[in-house]
Every structure is written in C-alpha cells, then in structure tokens.
C-alpha cells in the first residue's frame, strides 16, 4: 500500500480570503515504511504572509522570492499523490488550501480527493485518546518521537514527525482498519474518495539545490535560537535528502 504523509504551511488561515500555500511536503510510505522518496517545495504565494502566520512557521516574504508558484508544481504534485492514501493531521485545513490552489490554477483536477483517499490522524487520535491534547506536538510526546527542534512549524519537519507518529499510533492495528483499510474508523476520521486502481510506481522527485540552501539557513536559525538543540543536524550539515 502506498501512502503519502502530507503537510502544508500557508500565508494565513483562510483560503476563502485567498491565502495561499507557501510550503508543501509529502513523504512516501510503502507498506508503512518510508521509501526516501518525497515531494517538497517552498512556493511564492504572490501575496504577503500574515505576521501571525510567520510567527507560527517562521517563513518571511523575502524567503520565498524566486520560488515557483503553485501552478508550476501542480502537475508534479498530482502525479506524486495519484492513487495513494493521504495521511494528514487536521486534514480539512490542508485539503481546503490544496483544492483552492488547484481550482485557482485550473489544474486537471480541482478536488485532490478525486485522486486519493484521505486518512485524518486528528480524529483518529481523538478516538483513541478522548479528552486529551491530540496536537502533533502532544502526540510526539506521547509516542516518544523527538520533536525538540520544533521551534517553528514547517511542512517538511511536520510531515516527517507525523509519519513517525502515524506508524507508532497504528502499529499492529491493521486488523482494526489502520493501514490498507480505514473501514474501522468513525466517519469523521476518514474521507472516502475514488482510488485509481493499482498504485503507480514510486515517483522520484528532485529538490532544487536553492531550496536546500534555504532549508539549511532556516535550520541554522532554529539551532541558534534553541541553543543547539536541533535534531535534524544531518540536513544542517550535509543538505542532502
């Protein structure tokens, strides 16, 4: 089974106010194991980032100058996720932005769920841990996933953390519907959509070297502000995927 753990960062909270995606990351799992293939881009939104959003993810308008617009990566994104199951924490937020972007650029599909099924890990966690804090950070603490470098939200970092949390949270639970089947989840824990038959072979998606340079600069800021507690030191030191 091919699954894609996906996260986005945005200019603000409301796609209806024409807020835009500025970072998107998608990590591939096959049979619940990371393959090393991913899809990751910073994006120029063509509009200012709200100060409140920058306070959350740390990305500034000047960080995105010269990055591609969503239209330039839309086809590659759709090819990458086609036929997979998307795993997203608080899926309605990311899906609303993705579908807004797809409609805006008149992509070949304007509803990403027409290509994928979607598993939302937030209601999944709420069902398992009712009445508790089920944010991504809280789940990392609960499952022993090291998120000590997460001073800011970031699509690449958060997708990586969510992949670990999902695997820990659903370990040994395939019989209950976690994995190849989500029938065991409550209605608000899944979003059904057509699956495109046999999943396509894994796509290899290159990363712009300039993005790696910016990614390392961003990690260096986090490392300095956290007093050297950065966990992703391999990215900081080598800048390789």
Report the chain's mean pLDDT, rounded to a whole number.
Answer: 82
Query: What are the extents of the domains in the chain?
Result: 2-206
User: What percent of the chain has a predicted confidence (pLDDT) above 90?
Assistant: 67
| Predicted TM-score of the model (pTM) | 0.73
Q: Is 153 a catalytic residue?
A: yes
Which residue from 33, 29, 119, 149 is spatially nearest to 80, judged by alpha carbons?
Answer: 29
Query: Which listed residue (57, 89, 153, 215) is catalytic?
Result: 153
What integer pLDDT is reported at residue 183 of this predicted model? 32
What integer pLDDT is reported at residue 216 of this predicted model? 64
Who has greater pLDDT, 241 or 112? 112
CATH architecture of 2-206: 2-Layer Sandwich (3.30)
């Amino acid at each position: 089974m091919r699954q894609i753990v996906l996260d986005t960062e945005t200019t603000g909270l409301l796609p209806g106010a024409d807020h835009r995606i500025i970072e998107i990351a998608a990590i591939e799992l096959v049979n619940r194991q990371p393959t090393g293939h991913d899809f990751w881009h910073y994006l120029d939104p063509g509009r200012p980032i709200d100060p409140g959003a920058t306070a959350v993810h740390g990305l500034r308008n000047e960080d995105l100058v010269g990055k591609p617009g969503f239209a330039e990566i839309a086809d590659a994104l759709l090819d990458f996720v086609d036929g997979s199951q998307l795993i997203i924490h608080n899926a309605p937020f990311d899906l609303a932005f993705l579908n807004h972007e797809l409609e805006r650029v008149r992509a070949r599909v304007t509803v990403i769920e027409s290509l994928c099924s979607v598993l939302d890990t937030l209601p999944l966690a709420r069902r398992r841990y009712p009445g508790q804090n089920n944010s991504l950070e809280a789940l990392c603490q609960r499952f022993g996933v090291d998120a000590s470098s997460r001073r800011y939200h970031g699509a690449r970092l958060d997708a990586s953390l969510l992949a670990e949390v999902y695997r820990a949270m659903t370990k040994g639970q395939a019989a209950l519907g976690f994995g190849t089947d989500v029938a065991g989840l409550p209605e608000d824990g899944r979003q059904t959509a057509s699956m495109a038959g046999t999943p396509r072979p894994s796509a290899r998606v290159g990363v712009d070297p300039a993005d790696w340079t910016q990614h390392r600069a961003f990690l260096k800021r986090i490392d300095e502000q956290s007093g050297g507690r950065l966990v992703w030191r391999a990215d900081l030191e080598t800048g390789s995927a």
